Amino acid sequence: MKRAYTNVAKLLTILTVALLCAGCGYKVTYNLSGGSIPPEAKTFSVAYFPNNAPMVAPTLSNVLTEGLRDKFSRQTRLQQVDEGGDFAFEGEITNYSSTTASVSSGDYALQNRLTITVKVNFQNAVDQTLSFNNKTFSAYADYDSSQLLIDVQDQLIEDIVEDLVNDIYMAAAGNW
């Protein structure tokens, strides 16, 4: 219940700020996904994110790259271009690791944690002050230690990449 009130409060705040900005002659496009895209921005590009982590999952680079492209295609009015977009992303996967997350009283692992870290460069051609370089984003998911990583990694990657993509999106388009 508290979460619903928090979401309503955020939406009202966004609408109030948008109305105030519109009244002052400042134009920013707001959407309900939490992002703000200046009207001058028309395109976005996402370069392939290579996996430069010591431990490599074969599908991770593609899942991350496509996830970021899909997020901007679905959540914004920007058109995807191959390179040089008004919002341009590039980067690399720097960490993919599984560690113990919790231990039993008998010193046995109960939960393991898969962590993925990416380094992102974002160029905002419309407002260079909002660009960032080498910004690190990290997310994780826990899994039962009785399971092998190879058996659960596809679902874990999907869940973690969703979190990473949302964080990257908010860092680039949620500048309010």
CA distance 41 to 78: 7
Report residue 109 as tokens. Answer: 């692992």
pLDDT, position 51: 96
What is the rounded average pLDDT of the residues 31-56? Answer: 84
What are the residues whose beta carbons fall under 8 Å from the beta carbon of 53, sequence distance 6 or more?
93, 94, 95, 96, 97, 117
Per-residue pLDDT tens over the stretch 103-153 = 777 777 789 999 999 999 999 999 999 999 999 999 999 999 999 999 999
Going by pLDDT thresholds of 50, 70 and 90, the confidence category of residue 2 is very low
Per-residue pLDDT tens over the stretch 15-39 = 455 544 444 444 333 344 445 788 8
pLDDT, position 38: 85
Report residue 118 as tokens. Answer: 């990416």
pLDDT, position 159: 97
> Around 82, how many Cα atoms within 13 Å sit in the side-chain half-sphere?
0
Q: Helices in the chain by DSSP H: which ranges?
A: 2-23, 60-75, 149-173
**For residues 173, 85, 163 and 28, what is the CA-based torsion angle, rounded to 10 degrees?**
10
CA distance 121 to 36: 19
Report residue 77 as tokens. Answer: 């009015």
pLDDT, position 29: 38
Q: Which residue has the tokens 């990257």?
A: 168
CA distances for 21 relative to 49, 70, 124, 135, angstroms: 36, 29, 21, 29
Cβ atoms within 10 A of the Cβ of 114, count? 22
What is the rounded average pLDDT of the residues 86-90? Answer: 97
Going by pLDDT thresholds of 50, 70 and 90, the confidence category of residue 86 is very high
Report residue 10 as tokens. Answer: 């955020």
What is the rounded average pLDDT of the residues 59-74? Answer: 97
pLDDT, position 35: 57
Query: Which percentage of the chain shows pLDDT scores above 70?
Result: 79
Three-state SS at 7? helix
